[in-house]
Structure 1
Amino acid sequence: MSSEPLNIVILGASFAGLSVAHHFLDDTLHRLSTTPAAPPYRLVLVSPSTHIYWNIGAPRALVAPGLIKEEDTFVAIEPGFKRHKKADFTFIQGHATGLDTIARTVTIESIGAKAQKRASQLMGKRGSTQPQTPTTPASANGSIGVLKQSIPYHALVLATGTSAHSDLLSLHGPHTSTIAALHSFHARVPNASSIVVCGGGPSGVETAGQLATFLNHTSTLSSMFPSKQQKNLRAKLPSKGTKQIILIASTPRLLPALPTREGLKAEKQLHGLGVRVITNTRVESASRSPETDRWTLKLDNNTTLLCDLYVPATGVSPNTGYVPKKLLDANGYVQTNPQTLRVDAAGERVYAIGDCASYSSNYVLDVYPAVAPLMINMYHDLLAHELHLASPYGGNDEEIEALKADDALFSKREAVDSVLCPITRRGGVGVLMGIALPSKMVWLMKGRDYRVSKGRRVVVDGNNPYAVRNALK
């Protein structure tokens, strides 16, 4: 048996990457190493952030500090893997910057001395290190700068997801950057008289609703939080007069992916909170003046809108800048076999899952049904390699061919059939498995606490936070 473990590399440590990592360590790993010639394996999880961001709750977290506790909003990744043997798992904080499918290596910019040391231990004979000018601020462990390092992979999972256009709504590198963005926004809210949210999808609708609910209707605290928390939260919310909150959508109505009735209900609820809704209008440019600290928004109807705060919630961009263009579709997503979830053009044992993959609709519930078929196919591919090592000159050909013919096939739902969109103090709009929900049920299932208790389970177990069996827990 080889003394050097083969690297099973997962790029990205959010919903998709965490679920795949735990599945591999809990199940797949223990079913491998079936022959004396089989190699040992090591799971390598790479992420620019040491913490996940529970951005499901971002529309409420951005309003004011304390509405969702910071320790619930940002959950450390590495402690979630303490139940796995250290020899089987390595976490590296770093950005993927390159992928060489011929050499079968990934290049990462490791952040901090701890990550750099760990990466150097994984490189084996094929890896390399290239010093690079420091480009990042001090990391959590006190080290400065990054180091470009090349790591070989035996199997590779691309799970780098997407990033929202706003620093408030998703991670853009280390979680400390998002914390800083939230703190900066919180500090500006008290003196802001006008806030514009752009985007008619769930993120934009929820953000406008949460801002209006908590900034203009602070009586909601009495019904949404225990009395001992109300005094503390009231002190953090601005006490000035009603703020003008505007929601701009480029579509004819809000929530265009949902039935028309739900979009109209959302608009009615926002109107009830005093939100001005503008549809069929696109923001063509947005700029902030350093002198006045105000935003100027140029709209496609030849008008200009001034505001104190601006939150773009107009979709996402795939985090695939490190992927060769030949592996990407026209929109920058990884071209993924929609049934096997392999990246066929990248060579053997390369897979993609979650928002960065072409099969996905940028929808968290596209992740979890895909995990099982991906892991079955990865197991078959790894086992086939083991059988080949055991009989390099033939002898296991029939078993190998049988594994190749036994692919698990993923079938994606064609429509977005489950969305929960909290808007008011005790309600919102939503559908679950295609069935419209009463407003109060949306609050009960999500708006009550934005399901922050599920964040730790995502990190510790890789479980689906929206699983129906846990919906009311």
Structure 2
Amino acid sequence: MKLTRPSRHPQNSHFFWNLASVRAIVPGVLKEEQYSRSIAEGFAKYPDDAFEFIVGSAEAVDPTAKTVRVSTTSGAEQRELTYDHLVLATGTRCVDTAVPWKNNGTRDEISSLMAQTQAKVKAAKHIVVAGAGATGVEVAAELAFEYAQGNDKKEIILLSAHEQVLDGDSLAPNATSELHKLGVQIRPSARVARTHELPDGSGKTEVVLENGDTVVTDLYLPTMGMAPNTEYLPAALLSKQKFVDVDEFYRVKNAEGVWAAGDIVWKPRGSFVLTDKQAAGVAKNVDAALRGKAPSVVKTLPMDVLALATGRSRGCGRMGPVKMFSFMVYYIKGKTLGIQHLPAYVDGTQF
């Protein structure tokens, strides 16, 4: 069996470790090779007749004909690939493409965007982080950890659309406490209505809230708004929210031989840990199908887990309703944001 891997959103030659993007925006903390790695290099050890990596964009899937139409990076060539089994793992993207939280472009585009963001962070004295979900909390904490004190002190404001951060999750008080320790200013019930750059040439952004209040800032970093990368798929394969609809085996409904895992299914939500478990389950079931065996129910986690890095020395988290100690979250996630695992994920030795 030959495995072919086309990409979709974006046409990217590199694996982007987006967990580290919240820290990578701070100048001088991470090197690019720590959060971005060539996919082709990871598969160099495999024989050419066993694997083909196509840097391109999946434009259409025909579940009846079992074909995928792919546009290559040049845009001048299209290929039609046939499959026996197809795994959909195209994830989600940031609605606002001006921030580098997700792999929203080619390797060169992502690299350039990260460098631009780092330069803006370095120059700014006042930064607004909009959206107080997990990403927003971590972004605000990383910035405050680096710039809360010293000669290069910056004012960090976190806008929460709800009365509490994390949409009132049971972890909200802990996250709020950690952010306050770092000097982050949290503005509750502050949903962004619109933004625009001031016309005076200063480069500042005016953030207009739904309640009519305005905030003028040197740097505006939105963290809310994710869209599934599913435009290339037939509507019959999608839920009302445009995510891929799967059964308990993570087989895509209304399609033979099609599977899905990760943020593209958003089940029960987007999460690195859930994606990891789902991917392992799908791999096991594809292998079973090739051997003529029945699939197994894909099991993820027995409880909902949420862990947040709050800077480079602490964290907060919970396992179900049980709170985790800060040092536990730090060692599990916050210390490195998992970048040490990137090479093993790319070359397969992680599994």
Query: Scaled by the length of structure 1, what TM-score is found?
Result: 0.68
Match of 2:259 among 341, 345, 351: 351
Q: Are the equivalent residues in 1 in contact too, given 2:229–2:264 (CA < 8 A)?
A: yes
Q: Does 1:304 align with 2:229?
A: no
2:93 to 134, 149, 163: 163
Higher helix share: 1
Q: CA RMSD in A?
A: 2.2
* Counterpart residue number, 1:85: 47
Q: CA deviation at 1:441?
A: 2.6
Q: 1:366-397 deviations in whole A, cap 9, x for unaligned? A: 1232234423432343344xxxxxxxxxxxxx
1:416 counterpart = 2:304: yes
1:186 is paired with a residue whose SS is helix
1:177 to 85, 94, 109: 109
Q: Would you say the 8 A contact 1:158–1:352 is kept in 2?
A: yes
Pick aligned residue for 1:322 from 220, 227, 232? 232
Q: Which amino acid aligns with 1:46?
A: P
Give the counterpart of 2:189 among 266, 273, 280.
280
Aligned to 1:225: none
Equivalenced residues, count: 345
8 Å contact from structure 2 (residues 12, 106) kept in 1: yes
- For 1:243, the equivalent position in structure 2 comes to 154
CA–CA distance in 2 between the matches of 1:73 and 1:432? 27
Deviation at 1:329, TM superposition (A): 1.0
* Separation (CA, whole Å) in 2 of partners of 1:63 and 1:180: 14
Structure 2 distance, partners of 1:425, 1:151, is 45
Alpha-carbon separation, structure 1, partners of 2:286 and 2:168: 33
Structure 2 matches for 1:367-406, cutoff 5 A? 367-384=275-292, 403=293, 406=294
Letter matched to residue 264 of structure 1: P
* Cα distance in 2 between the residues matched to 1:54 and 1:245: 25
Letter in 2 for 1:437: M
Mapped pair 1:100 → 2:62: yes
* Equivalent in 212, 226, 239 of residue 144 of structure 2: 212
Question: Which amino acid in structure 2 is aligned with residue 97 of structure 1?
Answer: E
Within the candidate set 235, 245, 254, 2:165 is matched to: 254
Local SS of the residue matching 1:365: helix
Q: Contact 1:422 / 1:446 at 8 angstroms: preserved in 2?
A: yes
Tell me the SS of whatever aligns to 1:330: coil
CA shift, 1:433, in A, is: 6.4
Give the superposition deviation at 1:443: 2.2
Answering whether residue 73 of structure 2 is matched by residue 111 of structure 1, we say: yes
1:154 aligned residue (45, 62, 84): 84
8 A Cα contact 1:374 1:408, kept in partner: no
Unmatched tracts of structure 2, length 5 or more: none
The equivalences for 1:36-47 within 5 A come to 41-47=1-7
Deviates more, 1:430-439 or 1:92-101: 430-439
SS at match of 1:344: coil
* Cα 1:156/1:330, change in 2 over 3 Å: same
- Note the C-alpha offset of 1:86: 1.9
SS of structure 2 residue aligned to 1:87 = coil
TM-score, scaled to structure 2: 0.90
Letter matched to residue 92 of structure 1 = I
> SS of the counterpart of 1:345?
coil
* DSSP-derived class of the 2:142 partner: helix
d(CA) in 2 for partners of 1:376, 1:55: 25
- Contact 1:336/1:358 (CA < 8 Å) preserved in 2? no
> Paired residue for 1:120?
none
Shift of 1:211: 0.5
Q: How many angstroms apart in 2 are the aligned matches of 1:273 and 1:381? A: 51
Higher Rg of the two aligned structures: 1
